């Protein structure tokens, strides 16, 4: 394995809890690896499996989907929908030649900045053990989404 490998992880965080948890980690100056690129979504239940698969096929080494804790969803049951979609994603990953460990679904509230940092740290360590995505080129993914930003 390449000792200099630094994975690119796409973090899909719900607006109401997980994104605020990521923000809390930042404003609290909690140290965690800079390998995650956070994308705010209104609800984790709105993340379609195709978006996760597209992230992988465009070169992401891992995808972290974060939502509100069950029972705390601002859209009532969005996180329960995310949980079902997460199960479907895990079933699809081997068909794409990807390990299930490259995808994680975690519940992170707005008050859990330290938890967000720990989840990111654990995932980075896990992806480093797996090595680069077989779809290669995390830079290709960054370039693709950077072009969509404007």
- For residue 142, being part of any structural domain is answered with no
Number of domains within the chain: 1
Residue 78 is assigned to a structural domain of this protein: yes
pLDDT in tens, 4-44: 899 999 999 999 999 999 999 999 999 999 999 999 999 99
149 domain-assigned:
no
- For residue 58, the enclosing domain spans 9-137
Asked if the structure places residue 58 within a domain, the reply is yes
Is 2 within a domain?
A: no
Q: What confidence score (pLDDT) does residue 4 get? A: 87
pLDDT tens per residue, range 39-98: 999 999 999 999 999 999 988 999 999 999 999 999 999 999 999 999 999 999 999 999
Residue 132: inside a domain: yes
Looking up residue 32, the CATH number of its domain turns out to be 3.40.50
- Asked whether 13 and 39 are in contact (CB, 8 A), the reply is yes
In a domain, 14, yes or no: yes
Q: Is residue 145 part of a domain?
A: no
Residue 43 CA to residue 52 CA, distance in Å, equals 14
Q: What's the CA gap between 70 and 54, in Å, rounded?
A: 26
């Amino acid at each position: 394995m390449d000792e200099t490998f630094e994975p690119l992880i796409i973090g899909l965080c719900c607006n109401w809890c997980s994104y605020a948890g990521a923000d809390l980690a930042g404003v609290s100056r909690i140290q965690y690896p800079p390998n995650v690129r956070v994308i705010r979504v209104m609800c984790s239940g709105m993340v379609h499996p195709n978006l996760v698969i597209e992230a992988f096929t465009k070169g992401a080494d891992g995808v972290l989907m974060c939502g509100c804790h069950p029972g705390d969803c601002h859209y009532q049951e969005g996180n329960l929908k995310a949980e079902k979609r997460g199960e479907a994603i895990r079933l699809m990953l081997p068909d794409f030649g990807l390990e299930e460990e490259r995808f994680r679904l975690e519940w992170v509230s707005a008050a859990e900045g330290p938890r967000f940092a720990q989840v990111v740290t654990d995932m980075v360590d896990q992806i480093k053990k797996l090595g680069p995505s077989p779809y290669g080129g995390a830079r290709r993914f960054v370039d693709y989404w950077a072009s969509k930003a404007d």
